[in-house]
Every structure is written in C-alpha cells, then in structure tokens.
Amino acid sequence: LRNRTATMDTLVALGTTVAWAYSASVVLFPESFPLPARHLYFEASAMIIGLINLGHALEQRARQHSSQALEKLLDLTPQEATVIRDEGDISLPVSQIEPGMRLRLRAGHRVPVDGIIDSGEGTIDESMLTGEAWPQQKTATDPVHAGTLVVDGTLSFRATATGKNTALARIISLVRNAQSSKPRIGQLADRISAIFVPAVIIIALLSGLIWYLAGPAPQFAYSMVVITSVLIIACPCALGLATPMSIIAGVGRAAEAGILVKDADALQQASNVDTIVFDKTGTLTTGRPAVTSVTLFNHSSEQQILTLAAAVEQHSSHPLATAILARVDASALPEVSHLQTVAGKGLSAECDGHRLLLGNQLLLSDAGVDIAAANESLQNTSRQGATPVLLAIDGQLAALLAVSDPLRPETPQVVARLQQQGYQVVMLTGDRKQTAEVVAASAGIRQVIAEVLPADKASAVKRLQQQGHRVAMVGDGINDAPALAQADTGIAISGGSDIAIETATMALMRQDLRAVTDALMISVATLRNMKQNLFGAFVYNCLGIPLAAGVLYPLTGT
C-alpha cells in the first residue's frame, strides 16, 4: 500500500492472513458464526504459502544448479606465473602479479595475464579468444592475452593488465549478467497481477458490504465469510506455480535432448527469434584441421608423401602437425635427424639421407626451391579457404598438402532446415573473408560477416537487433562471449570455451548442431505451455470468485 503496487504476493499475504484470522476467530468464538460457516482454513493458509514457496524454490533450483555445474569451468588462467627477477626466475600466485612485472612463458603454458612481448618468439593458440583457427606467431611488441596457450617457443613479456582488468576477466564479468534475469513471462504475470489484485480486493469488499447491508442474519458473520472466501479462492497459488512448473518441464525436456538451459528467460526468448547467427570455427566446422587433399609433383605416392611429412611433424604440437599425423600410422614413422624450426615458415630435417623441407612458400623460396609448378594449386587451395603446406625433397618440390577446418557433417542439413522454417541464417567470424565465404557457400549460408574482433561481433549482433531482428547467437569460443551475451538468446556448443558456455543462456551438451533446432522447438513448446497454465489459472479465478462472492445464493440458498 505504501508503494502503491500490488503483486501476487499482495493477494497471497491478504488471503492467507484473512484465512488464518477467520479460522482463529471460529476457534475462539464459534457461537458468533452460523453453523454452516464454522469452517477452519489453517491448512489452506499453510498449503498456499507452501505452494508459492515451492514454485519459487523450483525456479531458483533450476538456475542455481546450472550455475554450480558451470562455476568450476571459469578457471581458464593458471594459478601461478613465472616471474623474471635479477636473482633468477621465481613462481608467484597470479593474484600477486602486478602491471610492469616481467614474466616468462614456455611451450605448453597458458598466459596468466595480459601483456606485451619484450623478447623471444613463439606460437600462441588464440582461437578461444579471436576465433582464428591457426596458432599465431608472436614476437617482440606483440600483445598476449590471459588464458591463451603457448604452442611452441619461449618468450618473456611485461604484464600490462592483471586481475579484473584482463580481456578474459572482462568477458567473465558478463557471466553474472547472464544469470540474474527473470522470465519475461513471469513479469507478464506480475503486470496482470497489478490489475487483478486490486480488482479482487474491491470485489471482496463490495461483496462483503452487500452481504452486510442486504444479507441474512447474522449479517456481519456472513459478510466476513464472503470476504474471506473471495480472498482465498482468488489466492493465486496456481499463478505462482504456472511459470516455474513450465520452466522445470522445459528444462527437463531440454536436458533429455542434451541441452542445458541456464536462464529461464532463454526459453521465452528463443521461441521468438527470427535470425540465427553462427560462429564459424568450432561451430559450423569441426574445429579440428584435417588434410583435405594432396597434390603430387614427383613420382612419390600419396602415402609416401604423408609418411615423410608426418615424420617431420611427429614431435610438433602445432594443429597442422596434428592434421597430418591423423592421416598415417604414427607408430610406424621413420626417425628424422637435424630437425630445425624456422620461425613462421616451417620445419627442415633429414630422413634416410634425404633433405626435407615442410612449410609455407617462404620456407621453400628461401631455400632456392622452384615452386612455379605449384602456383595453380596454391591459388585453388586459397580459393577453397584451405592452408597450403609444401613439401620439398632434396631441393625439389614434391607435394602440396591442403589443410582446412572441415564442416561438421550435419551443418548443411541444419542450415537448410532452419531456412525452411523461416529463420534467417548468418555466419559471423573473425576469420579471413575469403575463407569465410568458401565455408558459408559449402554450408548453404548466404549472409557472411567476416574479419571481426570479439567486440565487433557483439556490435554486429546489436546492428541486427536494431534492424528489428530477434537474434540467437551460436558459438563456442571466448571471442563469441560478448556476442552470446548481446544476443536475445546465446547458445554455446559442447566442447567450446568455458566462458562461452557460462555466458550463453543455453549450452548444447552434445557435439551435434541439430541440437540447435531441438532447442528452438522445445522453447516454443515451453512458452505455449506457460501461456496455457496462466490462462487456466485466470479462468479458474474468474469462475471461482463470483461463486465465492455468493452470486448463486438467490437461486440455491447457499
């Protein structure tokens, strides 16, 4: 009353209080009430409050359970860092690292804080932050970011941002905003209650006044009975359960389909989207590079070429090496000697008396190898969005291996199905435009937004929303987290980065894009069930309130 507002809780408080007060009056002064009106409603008060609290508990449990299940995934940075001191390297907790400190990184380590490289060089996998499929070569003056992985090399850097100021920490902060929303359908119930509750109170008072002025004796007792009946029959326990029970049913059905729903509002939002935005690397594609073709330039067989290339790469952890090794039996590879890494270009080695060069065009050109015969193949490989890896044997060009990140097998089917259902499908990626367009064409996607930074992804989603679209974003990397948070519904792919999973309102627990269409269908069904429940609850109240007010008394005498 002080705030001039009325919600379901207002009616619950009034109804249960009046029911308890009436019951207590009947117990203490039974002779003051007509015999037919000597009913007790203690259990009704307890049951109504219990049901309302049950509804709130179920809703909170679904949200908190999802949060607890993902809370442990947030730790993407190491607990300790190697600090360079005059007396030597020492390990310190990351919490004690301050801007300006010099730190050392080695292969296999994750970057603890943001910084700028001041010496050394190495290859860093930033795919979870930038979406770039391949590790990036880093040298002096290049930035490094917390949470990224050093694939190869040793380097030192000077910390520029620590703790909550790192790029990773700023993205993590979006997680908290993704878990505090209330379902808009629940807000709808509150808006309806703002009108419904005052109306019920007025009806109860008017009914009591009519019974007091024109009802049978004892008028005051009957008036109190009518007021109590109206308030109890209108007590919105059904409204309190309508939304939470639908949410629990929807969350449970989604879980059976391998979809973790973290934000209740996502069920409603996903039912209204008209545009689906997909990340490329790791979402539409497998995220695992593979050798897609081998072009030969001498008399060697494809298997011989793959064996030699794998022999050179067998001690490397580079994704290109992983792709090549996946094509051969790693247990039967010949040993190589004089293995050398040429930064940013590739590898050189000797095997069975042959000099091998494996890498990009610069590596072979610097060694005086004629690669003119591969020009056409290089152009074709580039047009297909693949990465060319050249192999030279004893100074002669031997083969070109095309390595690319292939589409998931179900991607074209999922895209076609979504388009048939009327959704606009967009691909949003930080990768090169040429590569992105090749992948989009293979997937059947007509609209492509490429070469965008993480913040630009969120801006791109916002532009679509400003055009009137309701957007669902599907991604897997840290670079997708701002866009996942900006979208009306964020859907993270299983196996993606922890922050993407935590930021998204839905997470697909199975490695199958068909779960995206399942999530949309379940959301539509859940919203429909919410509306059915709310409609049923209001119909019940609309029928029950006149009966409780005594509208049938002139006809039936009861």
Tokens 């693949």, residue located: 386
- What three-state secondary structure class fits 181? coil
Report the distance separating Cα 486 and Cα 471, nearest Å.
9
| Calpha distance 501→434 (Å, rounded) | 28
Q: Based on the residue annotation, tell me whether 279 is a catalytic residue of this protein.
A: yes
447 and 425 Cβ atoms separated by less than 8 Å: yes
Q: With beta carbons less than 8 A apart as the criterion, state whether 216 and 25 touch.
A: no
At residue 410, φ and ψ (nearest 5 deg) are -90, -5
Question: 17 in helix, strand or coil?
Answer: helix
The residue from 263, 265, 279, 498 that is catalytic is 279
CA distance 236 to 242: 10
Those residues whose C-beta lies under 8 Å from the C-beta of residue 456, and which sit 6 or more positions away, are none
Task: List, in sequence order, the alpha helices (H) in 257-401.
Answer: 264-270, 302-313, 319-325, 361-366, 375-383
Q: Is residue 503 a contact partner of residue 263, using CB atoms and an 8 Å limit?
A: no
Q: How far apart are CA 435 and CA 431, in angstroms?
A: 7
Q: Can you read off the two tokens belonging to residue 180?
A: 């505090």
CA separation for the pair 456, 458 (Å, rounded): 5
Q: How far apart are CA 302 and CA 305, in angstroms?
A: 5
Which residues are marked as active site? Answer: 279
